[in-house]
Amino acid sequence: MAGDFRGRLVKGLHSMKRMIWLGLLALASAPALLAGQVHVPGDFATIQAAIDNSPSGTVIIVHGGKHGEIVVDRQLTLVGDPSFTIEAAGWDPNWHQYPGVLLNGPGTGEVTIVRAVIASTAFTSTYAAAGAGIAGHGFQRLRVLHCDVHGSDAWGDESLNGGAGIEVDVANILIEDSTVTGGDNRHDVFGGGWAPPPGAGVKAPGSTVTLLDSTVTGGKAPGTAFAELPYNPCPVCSGIQNGEGAAGVIANRLFHANSTVAGGAGGTFECFTMSGTFVPICTLPAGPGVVANQQVDLHNALVGSGPLLLNSSWNLSWTTVGNPVLLLLSAHAPYPLQLGDGSWLFLSTTNLLVFVVPGGGTNTAVFAVPASASLVGTTVAFQVYDPPAGLTRPVAASVVP
């Protein structure tokens, strides 16, 4: 009898795989979720031209290459085919370096960035302030998947701060399978006891941040020599300002699973005396890993195998006590909702698909991702409901070419 039940579950699992992709095809073809696809280069020469001339909801497929900073003022998805690079080169009238991606939205909607490298460097001879990797406001959600985001490192010998990796005023931020790093302060010589600070990995004090399978690190403080002058003696350690490393994540709430969060290393300081010798002062501590009002460690009972590549296989594994269990799927991952059992739902309830699947130990489903190009840019989010333990962590992945 138990074997028959197990067989029915396995047969149901095969049917579920087909239903998942049929459901995604339907979701991807819905005008409310996908306004169309454009290509850079191809339809447009630059990412900014594609943004400016495409309706809200468009998927912009970027075919690699290095690109300048962009301003995003409408809901969209950027997908690398292959990964593309954004490097800020411009500055505002106050000589502040632009971020790689500036969010300037209408106050609603979401921005999704998939398979991108966002990194810059700022020099004191050019800039008065280093830029963040991603900065801005005006959207409800920001999703960063399969990306490497780095705030600008600050170079030179003057008062230039390192840029944050992500510095936004967005209610809900999802970072999945990505690396986010604050900009280092790489200055080398100062007078007095003040050094400009490095940038935080994620600086979003009003936001809910969900961090999955990712690494976030604050920027490093400088290894600095303070120059002794007749009117400005060598500082003592307690008199050095901003010598600590930057925080990893600053948020209102942080949910995390299978992720590493660390503050940046503190600076090592010495004094270059008027007699021409270097005298050690001290090494200051690393920055805090997390500064948040609430932290929730999501148990890592669900694992995906990265982005969903068209016309390839994709694995999803879950480890549960209960048998059977429920596999939940949604095309969007909006705000987390706490359920009565204390677990958190990260999936939309308006387009939720639910399947009964085998449990009791570790199980793996291997999905054949269709070759349909209309799926590119669709973000899939999974959770498993294990009755003894509640909902697992989510797994989010985007369909990429």
Burial 331-340 (b: 16+ CB within 10 A, else e): bbbbebeeee
In a domain, 25, yes or no: no
pLDDT value at residue 132 = 93
Average pLDDT, integer, range 102-113: 96
Average pLDDT, integer, range 44-48: 97
In this structure, of 11-15, 239-243, 375-379, 382-386, the range with the lowest mean pLDDT score is 11-15
pLDDT value at residue 6 = 40
In a domain, 21, yes or no: no
Cβ-proximal residues to 28 (8 Å cutoff; 6+ apart), any chain: 34, 331, 372, 374, 375, 377, 378
Question: Distance between CA 191 and CA 157 in Å, rounded?
Answer: 10
- The residue with greater pLDDT, 133 or 129, is 133
In this structure, of 54-63, 149-158, 183-192, 237-246, the range with the lowest mean pLDDT score is 183-192
Query: Domain ends where: 266, 297, 328?
Result: 297
In this structure, of 127-136, 140-149, 295-304, the range with the lowest mean pLDDT score is 127-136
Whole-model pTM over 0.75: yes
Indicate if 200 and 320 belong to the same structural domain. Answer: no
In a domain, 325, yes or no: yes
Average pLDDT, integer, range 275-295: 90
Phi and psi, residue 67, nearest 5°: -130, 155
pLDDT value at residue 32 = 40
Torsion angle, CA of 133/138/144/150, rounded to 10 degrees? 10
Q: Is pLDDT of 85 > 50?
A: yes
Residue type, 128: A
pLDDT value at residue 271 = 81
User: Between the CA of residue 27 and those of 278, 332, 354, 390, what are the distances in Å?
Assistant: 65, 10, 15, 27
Indicate if 126 and 47 belong to the same structural domain. Answer: yes
Indicate if 312 and 217 belong to the same structural domain. Answer: no
Nearest residue to 167 via CA among 124, 106, 118, 214: 118
Indicate if 247 and 383 belong to the same structural domain. Answer: no
Indicate if 285 and 333 belong to the same structural domain. Answer: no
Confidence band for 10, pLDDT divided at 50, 70 and 90 = very low
Confidence band for 124, pLDDT divided at 50, 70 and 90 = low
Indicate if 338 and 245 belong to the same structural domain. Answer: no
In a domain, 26, yes or no: no
Query: Domain ends where: 275, 297, 319?
Result: 297
Residue type, 207: S
Question: Distance between CA 201 and CA 27 in Å, rounded?
Answer: 34
- The residue with greater pLDDT, 71 or 22, is 71
pLDDT value at residue 19 = 53
Indicate if 221 and 355 belong to the same structural domain. Answer: no
- The residue with greater pLDDT, 229 or 308, is 308
Provide the mean pLDDT of the chain: 85
Domain count, the chain: 2
- Determine the 3-state secondary structure of 120 from DSSP: coil
Indicate if 373 and 255 belong to the same structural domain. Answer: no
In a domain, 23, yes or no: no
In a domain, 229, yes or no: yes
Q: What is the pLDDT of residues 169-192, one digit of tens each?
A: 999 999 999 999 999 876 655 555
CATH of the domain at 375: 2.60.40.2950
Domain region containing 374: 2-14+299-400
Tokens 């490093």 locate to 220
In a domain, 19, yes or no: no
| 42, 393 Cβ separation under 8 angstroms | no
Indicate if 124 and 255 belong to the same structural domain. Answer: yes
Confidence band for 37, pLDDT divided at 50, 70 and 90 = very high
- Determine the 3-state secondary structure of 213 from DSSP: coil
pLDDT value at residue 238 = 77
Q: Is pLDDT of 14 > 80?
A: no
Confidence band for 316, pLDDT divided at 50, 70 and 90 = very high
pLDDT value at residue 282 = 83
Question: Distance between CA 392 and CA 57 in Å, rounded?
Answer: 30
Q: Which two tokens stand for residue 367?
A: 């999905």
Q: What is the pLDDT of residues 223-276, one digit of tens each?
A: 776 767 777 777 788 777 777 899 999 999 999 999 999 999 988 888 877 888
Question: Distance between CA 397 and CA 331 in Å, rounded?
Answer: 10
Tokens 């009003």 locate to 206
Indicate if 279 and 317 belong to the same structural domain. Answer: no
pLDDT value at residue 18 = 54
Indicate if 194 and 322 belong to the same structural domain. Answer: no
In a domain, 285, yes or no: yes
Indicate if 185 and 241 belong to the same structural domain. Answer: yes
Query: Domain ends where: 297, 316, 348?
Result: 297
